[in-house]
Structure formats: structure tokens, C-alpha cells
Amino acid sequence: MSIGKVWVLAEADGDEVASAALELLTKAREIGDTVEAVYVGSSADAVAGVLGEHGATTVYAVDPGDSLSGAVGAAALEKLIGEHSPDLVMFDQSYDGRDAIAGLSARIDRTVLTNSADIRIDGDQVRATTAIFGGTQIVETAFEGEAPYLAAFRPKSFVAEPSGGAAAAVVAVDGVDAGRAGEAKVLDRHVEEAEGPKLEEAEVVVSGGRGLGEAEHYALVETLAKLLKGAPGASRAIVDAGWVPYSHQVGQTGKTVKPKVYIALGISGATQHLVGMKGADNIIAVNKDAEAPIFSVSDLGIVGDVHKVVPKLIEALEARA
């Protein structure tokens, strides 16, 4: 089953298209007859190749200048939707993706389905699924009312595959006025964590929780992550406590990760956390509470003190390096 026209808001960091955009384009090809991308940035010609290779025939490009990308994206989409009438617009569940879907929703008075893990066409309905209650239940929701439908997806919901298409035709979008939303200006950018893979793209994720005892002990997590060429993550508890920034949070109100190996250190495994990591291929947990729920999903569970086990593990790995 398919629908007519599916759009993907494709995000990129400079020339580098986000992997989530390619995942969404791949899914869009499966459910849409026509697949097009909307891109907010100043490198449209540089990204048109890879977007085309993943199925976008056209990329509508708008330059946000120094305004927030999501705010300009929402305004551009409103204008473009009026001209081209897509049936479905797919967004990445990222910071800018969330801004864009939210702003657009209010602009064109459409509901949103976010945190989606899948989408399918059933007869004349478009239905998206999302995991709730710590991933124990899957809810499927159908859009009602008039298209376009707006849905945001957790990264890694789909596997990106090239279609071998030619570079997308670039259509510059001019005359976008974001109104007061566009008055939020980016003055400068601070890069703090240039090292290592991104949390959502890492093969190995090492996360820490309250069982670490204090903020300084998060260094154990970072050291182990670095040794395994992985990314450091965190439970909500230690983000709420201010030990690490929100960008590290794995879970329902944070990120969903699906690495080859997930290592949970001092994390009890509240449902809030489990939903964000139980899709990992392999899970290793270290926790001193033998009854911790994290052990119900772990392939290898160590009942022990992270402060004893992890330093020895780090030492053993360093010895092999």
C-alpha cells in the first residue's frame, strides 16, 4: 500500500547529511509514490547527491541565516505545503526536528505523532507505532482529518539503504518569513564533545546511573566508552541531578539507542530507561542490587559494585590495547 507524496525534513551538519534523514528517506520510498526532501541550511548542492541516492527526487532548500533552523523549517514547510500538498511529512526526533514539527503543527493546525518507531499505510489510513510504558507495549495510532500528516521518528527506526537514484533537483525556496519565531537568533556555537561517535550511532554505548554514587565517578563511564570506541550515555536520574547534560540521556524522555553492545553501570533499569536501550543487540549490566530490573533484560549481568568491577575492567582492556 502506498500514498502519494511523502516528504522528509532532512537535517545535515554542514555538508554531512544526518543518518536519520537517510533512514527516513528509505522508509519514505517504501510507502510513498513520490519522495522529496526539505532541507534547511546553506549547502543544498552538497547534500543533493546523497539525498537523491536515497530516493529524494527533489530537495526544497531554504537558508535559515542566523535564525533557529526549526523555526525557519516550519515556516518554509507551511509555504511549501500550500504549493505542493504532500500527504505525509516525516521528521527526525532531534532538537531541530522537534522544533520544526511543533512549529508547523501550530501553523497549519495539524496533530502530530512523535517518538514513532514505524509507520504503515492501511487502506486509506496512515498509522504510526510508538512504544509506551518502558517499551512493554506498542501503540498504533491512525491519523484522522486532512493531510498532510506530521510524524517524528526515533533515530534508528529504519535501516538506511541507497536506491541508486540521481542527485535530487535543488529548488531554492525564497521569501520565507518565519515571523516572530524567526527572531530567535543563533549568536554562536560551542562544540564541547568532538571526540568519539555520536550516542545514537555508536556500536558501543556505556551508560552510568545513580549507582555511580557521585558526579566525579562518571569518569569511569567516559573512560570505558573511550576504550571501547563507544559513546557515553546516562540514566535520567543523573541528568536530573545535573551530573551530565540532557544530550547524554538514554530513555523515554531521552534518546533511543540500538548499539551492538550496551553496558549499563549502576543503572537500576527503571521503565523510563529500558525503553531507550532494550533494542540493543547485547546488554551488559553491572549493579549491586541483584533484584534490579536491568538484569531482566541483560545478556550478561554482574551483581557487584561498579567501583570495583569497572576499574578492573578498564585495567584489563588497557593491558590488551
Contact between 120 and 90 under an 8 Å Cβ cutoff? The reply is no
Angle at 153 between CA 150 and CA 155, to 5 degrees: 155
State which of positions 213-242 bind another protein (CB under 8 A). 228, 236, 239-242
Smallest separation, CB 55 to another protein (Å): 25
Q: Which of residues 92-111 bind another protein (CB under 8 A)?
A: 93-95, 98-99, 101-103, 105-107, 109-111
Site for another protein in 117-156 (CB under 8 A): 122, 125, 127, 131-133, 135-145
The only residue of 82, 174, 175, 189 in contact with another protein, by rule CB under 8 A: 189
Round to whole Å and give the CA distance between 280 and 50: 27
Residue range at the interface with another protein (CB under 8 A); choices 31-39, 40-48, 55-63, 312-320: 312-320
Nearer to another protein, 159 or 194 (CB): 194
300 binds another protein (CB under 8 A): yes
- Least distance from another protein to the Cβ atom of residue 91, Å: 10
Q: What are residue 284's DSSP bridge partners? A: 263, 300
Considering only 58, 115, 207, 235, the residue that binds another protein (CB under 8 A) is 115
Using the structure block, give the residue that is written with the C-alpha cell 492501511: 122
CB of 32 to another protein, least distance (A): 20
**Should residue 16 be labelled a site residue for another protein when binding is judged by CB under 8 A?**
no
Contact criterion met (CB below 8 Å) for 119 and 37:
no
Q: Which CA distances in Å does 205 have to 44, 157, 228, 302, 316?
A: 32, 17, 9, 17, 18
- 65 three-class SS: coil
Distance between CA 144 and CA 183 in Å, rounded?
33
Work out the burial of residue 65: count CB atoms within 10 Å of its CB; fewer than 13 is exposed, 13-18 middle, 19 or more buried: exposed
For the chain, how big is the Rg over CA atoms in Å? Answer: 21
Q: Number of residues interacting with another protein: please give it, by CB under 8 A.
A: 102
What SS3 state is found at 92? strand
Minimum distance, C-beta of residue 140 to another protein, in the bound complex (Å): 4
Kindly identify the residues of this chain, within the stretch 23-82, that bind another protein according to CB under 8 A: 68, 70-71, 74
Q: Which of residues 254-283 bind another protein (CB under 8 A)?
A: 260-261, 263, 270-272, 278, 282
Say how far apart CA 67 and CA 63 lie, in whole Å. 9
State the minimum distance, in angstroms, from the CB of residue 83 to another protein.
Answer: 20
Residues paired with residue 34 on neighbouring β-strands, in sequence order: 5
Pick from 33, 45, 213, 246: which binds another protein (CB under 8 A)? 246
Nearer to another protein, 58 or 93 (CB): 93
CB of 279 to another protein, least distance (A): 9
Q: What angle do the packed helices 19-31 and 44-53 form, to 10 degrees?
A: 50
Of residues 6 and 151, the one with the C-beta less far from another protein? 151
**Which of the stretches 19-27, 28-36, 82-90, 248-256 binds another protein when contact is defined by CB under 8 A?**
248-256
Smallest gap from Cβ 170 to another protein, in A, equals 26
Q: Phi, psi (5° rounding) for residue 34?
A: -120, 130
CA-to-CA distance for 105 and 39, rounded, in angstroms?
A: 18
